[in-house]
Amino acid sequence: MARVEERRSTGLEAWRARFESLRLREGEAFTSISGAEVEPLATPETVEIDYGRDLGYPGAFPFTRGVYPSMYRGRLWTMRQFAGFGTAEETNARFRYLLEHGQTGLSCAFDMPALMGVDSDSPRAVGEVGREGVAVASLEDMRVLFAGIPLGEVSTSMTINSSAAIALAMYLVVGEEQGVARERLRGTIQTDILKEYIAQKEFIFPPGPSLRLVTDMVEFCAAEMPLWHPISISGYHIREAGSTAAQELAFTLKNGFTYVEWALARGLDVDSFAPRLSFFFNAHLDFFEEIAKYRAARRIWARELRDRYGARDERSLLMRFHTQTAGVSLTWQQPLVNVARTAIEALAAVLGGTQSLHTNSYDEALALPTEDAVRLALRTQQVIAHETGVVNTIDPLGGSYHVEALTNRLEAEAYELFHRIDELGGMVAAIEQNMPQREIADAAYRYQQEVEAEQRVVVGVNRYQTETDDEIPILRIDPELERKQIERLHAFKARRDSAAVERRIAELSEAASVDGRNLMPVIVDAVSDGVTLGEICDAWRTVWGTWREQPVF
Amino acid sequence: MERTIRVVIAKPGLDGHDRGAKIIARSLRDAGMEVIYTGLHQTPEQIVETAIQEDADAVGISILSGAHMTLVPRIVEGLRENEAGDVLVVVGGTIPAEDAEELRRLGVAEVFTPGASTSAIVDFLRGALAPA
């Protein structure tokens, strides 16, 4: 044995000597897209692999190789294209189109007014209604949004955070109106407020009351909506804001631990809610680094849930995640090239063992996607699933020296960041001190400088440019839709029992000012009586105040 | 001695995408300009007020929410109404070509779309604000 080892390392040294004597390409950096140094070669000597401790088997601790024993042989990932624009009618039509073309789950994008807790008829909403997602202000909008879609059969993901509790209450009521009991509703709501302060910046209330709302949802779902995922802990937006892969991994997991700690402080048993926590990651262009990120994420989550938070139910240890290809990697120039980028990113997500996937459309650097562009993006997933054969073997890159080394590196970097956040007093304190925001801004700036120095080539942007970009059709949102939405909202408000509305608003304010009272049942009653999303948020603004960040750049 | 260029970088409306705004703010600062960043969720009126209070030479509006045709004209008009029509207005974001044309017609000096380099933006501001 000793002789073999010796020969191996002699071989490594000989290779290294030859490698270092050779002339290498100059100009482009040999670093990952995150700016991390990358070894030119990984060998058994350069990576420590303890198979039993670090990898194990799919469906078994530490779940590095996948959360299920059968992975894609048992069931493919859910193909879930994010959609939402205009009024509820337009988005309802897009949902039906996607279901007809083989999509297997719904994913709803809300417009900025809904995300920011203002009604479509607010002066703050002018010009923004239905632009970046679907306009939803009232229960009536939610009814139209899911009209003709059997909520007992589909699973729905809703991307909404500050005002998530209200959207969940509306969905629950619409489900019950369709005759589907709340315990049968399946889906996910994002609810991840911490990453809003860190990256996406659609916050309304200060962190304390926001985390109380999140915890109310976790508690409510654990008791009444057992098939629902009350939080999708999201690295996606952290990455889009410019973070590195390691920062995406670390901030996301730390946010997850923070939600766990709030729920434990509420007195919940970890195994009563942890199995329903889900995750959402970015799939960026640095292929191996991304795959390693997903593998490291599973391993860290399982270990911390078991060893730090005392989870006993194996389902609590499983990090199940949705992935979306990197919007930020799409270029405005030569947009058709985005088809290639998205396919590569989607492949990384699949090789990383994702449970659900959204592939971006090639036109999304320019506008919300057209129907044809969305279909092509969905077809990209179907090609990976059915034509490439990559689904036949579980974690096919497991054991690759390079991928294992990257997995170990990302894990170590994540623990370093956890430690720094703990030293600041935890994630909320770190956010208040702008630590994650500053780290991300620095990483984004460094990347931009690398692109401008041409150390990093972006095809069509700083190399291989063409005189004119390909002309592609883009989706235009009819400005008339804003007027139509406001009319529907006014008609809805006129029909309500105004005394009941006032009573419900008073209840919402009172419940918000009492710690320890779960707000979810109060919200369900309020939306049932016609209180709108903006009215609910206004009531809470009065009680809780609003959050303003001190921006750093 | 050359006067220091003062630029307000502004985020109008409900849009929270601030990666671009922060990169531009930092690039302009590194290029020697004085930069005031408004932070998020500003109304057009607030942006006009900041530009006037800060005696800005230019306002850079970063917008990725699709609400540019509503919000940007209100800023341009607000500056004019407050006798600050000489403040140079530039826009950056996901602005379709025909909207960019319309914004220029309304008085926006330039529209930068994704992929624009920060050095091009610095050069544009220096050129446009050079003493006659």
From chain A, the residues in CB contact with B69 under 8 A are: 127
Whether the full predicted model's pTM is greater than 0.90, yes or no, is yes
All residues at 6 or more sequence positions from A294 whose CB lies less than 8 Å from its CB, including other chains: A281, A321, A323, A349, A352, A353, A354
Contact B71 A127 (CB under 8 A): yes
What pLDDT shows up at residue A477? 86
> What six digits make up the tokens of A111?
């417009």
**Closest by CA position to A350, among listed A395, A300, A286:** A395
Looking at chain A, the whole-number percentage of residues with pLDDT higher than 70 is 99
Confidence at A469, pLDDT banded by 50, 70, 90:
confident
Contact A202 B14 (CB under 8 A): yes
* Contact map slice: A 214-243 vs B, CB within 8 A: 240-242
The average pLDDT across A273-296 equals: 98
Q: Which of residues A475 and A237 earns the better pLDDT score? A: A237
CA-to-CA distance for B124 and A314, rounded, in angstroms?
59
Chain A residue closest in CA terms to B10: A551
> Which value does ipTM take for this structure?
0.94
Range of the domain at B71: 6-126
Coil/strand/helix, residue A546: coil
- From A132, A441, A553, residue closest to B65, measured CB to CB: A132
The total of other beta-carbon atoms located within 10 Å of residue A219's CB is 19
The average pLDDT across B29-58 equals: 97
Q: Assess if residue B48 is contained within a domain.
A: yes
Q: Please check the confidence at residue A2 and state whether its pLDDT lies above 60.
A: no
Q: Assess if residue B114 is contained within a domain.
A: yes
Candidates B8, B9, B19, B113: best to mutate against A (most CBs of A within 10 A) is B19
From chain B, the residues in CB contact with A548 under 8 A are: 39
Q: How many domains does chain B fold into?
A: 1
CA-to-CA distance for A266 and A164, rounded, in angstroms?
20
Say which DSSP state A359 is in: P
Q: Assess if residue B66 is contained within a domain.
A: yes
Cβ–Cβ contact B104 with A under 8 A: no
The total of other beta-carbon atoms located within 10 Å of residue A21's CB is 7
Chain-centroid distance of CA B40 in Å reads 14
From chain A, the residues in CB contact with B16 under 8 A are: 196, 200-202
From chain B, the residues in CB contact with A114 under 8 A are: none
Q: Assess if residue B58 is contained within a domain.
A: yes
pLDDT digits (tens, 9 = 90+) for A510-533: 999 998 899 999 999 999 999 999
From chain B, the residues in CB contact with A113 under 8 A are: 14
Confidence at A101, pLDDT banded by 50, 70, 90:
confident
- From A113, A474, A551, residue closest to B96, measured CB to CB: A474
Q: Please check the confidence at residue A116 and state whether its pLDDT lies above 90.
A: yes
Q: Assess if residue B76 is contained within a domain.
A: yes
Contact A365 B114 (CB under 8 A): yes
Confidence at B30, pLDDT banded by 50, 70, 90:
very high
A90 near A477, Cβ under 8 Å?
no
A533 near A114, Cβ under 8 Å?
yes
Q: Assess if residue B131 is contained within a domain.
A: no
Q: What is the mean pLDDT of chain A?
A: 96
- Give DSSP secondary structure letters for A463-487: BS--SSPPP-------THHHHHHHH
CA distance, residue A134 to nearest chain B CA (Å): 13
CA-to-CA distance for A132 and A114, rounded, in angstroms?
10
Candidates B8, B9, B14, B15: best to mutate against A (most CBs of A within 10 A) is B14
Looking at chain B, the whole-number percentage of residues with pLDDT higher than 90 is 94
Q: Please check the confidence at residue A82 and state whether its pLDDT lies above 70.
A: yes
Sequence-ordered alpha helix ranges (H) in A353-434: 371-386, 401-424, 427-432
Contact A366 B37 (CB under 8 A): no
The average pLDDT across A61-87 equals: 95
Q: Assess if residue B132 is contained within a domain.
A: no
Contacts 24+ apart (CB under 8 A), B107-113: B107/B76, B107/B80, B108/B72, B108/B76, B109/B58, B113/A332
CA distance, residue A491 to nearest chain B CA (Å): 25
What pLDDT shows up at residue A227? 97
Rg of chain A over CA atoms, in angstroms? 24
The average pLDDT across A362-388 equals: 95
Report the b/e string of A460-474 with b at 16+ CB within 10 A.
bbbeeeeeebeebeb
All residues at 6 or more sequence positions from A15 whose CB lies less than 8 Å from its CB, including other chains: A41
Cα angle A14-A19-A22, degrees, rounded to a multiple of 5: 130
Q: Please check the confidence at residue A1 and state whether its pLDDT lies above 70.
A: no
Chain B residue closest in CA terms to A113: B14
Q: Assess if residue B1 is contained within a domain.
A: no
For residue A62, cis peptide bond before it (omega within 30 degrees of 0): yes
Count interface pairs A-B at CB distance under 8 A.
Answer: 101
From chain B, the residues in CB contact with A331 under 8 A are: 114-115
Residue with tokens 């609910």: A536
Chain-centroid distance of CA B101 in Å reads 16
pLDDT digits (tens, 9 = 90+) for A320-344: 999 999 999 999 999 999 999 999 9
Confidence at B131, pLDDT banded by 50, 70, 90:
confident
- From A116, A132, A333, residue closest to B66, measured CB to CB: A132
Cβ–Cβ contact A129 with B under 8 A: no
Confidence at A8, pLDDT banded by 50, 70, 90:
low
Q: Please check the confidence at residue A371 and state whether its pLDDT lies above 70.
A: yes
What pLDDT shows up at residue A5? 62
What pLDDT shows up at residue B132? 63
Residue with tokens 């009126």: B45
Tell me the CATH number at B58.
3.40.50.280
